[in-house]
Structure 1
Amino acid sequence: MKAPGRAAVNSNQAILGMRDTVIGDALDELAGRFAADGALVRAC
């Protein structure tokens, strides 16, 4: 019974890692958009 539990923990960590990566990518994209919008506003 220990092995399945350990596998579940490993898969949960993998899911959390992927979620963090997705969230980080989304935040980076949003930051890039805000920076681009700010540059356009300053240009105007």
Structure 2
Amino acid sequence: MTNIIPHSPNNNRGIWAELEEYCRKIANAGNELYIGVGVLGSGG
């Protein structure tokens, strides 16, 4: 992983954790996976 940024614990639970798990399942099944994300906001 590259370009990792800190974010609120509330953001790292729930829907984001579910998205990470879904992506792991896709990758672990032997599929190629490209993920692009961005940052918006201030104050962490």
TM-score class, shorter-chain normalisation, is: 0.3 to 0.5
| Richer in helix (by share) | 1
- Asked which structure has the greater CA Rg, the reply is 1
TM value normalised by structure 1: 0.39
Higher relative contact order (CA 8 A, sep 6+): 2
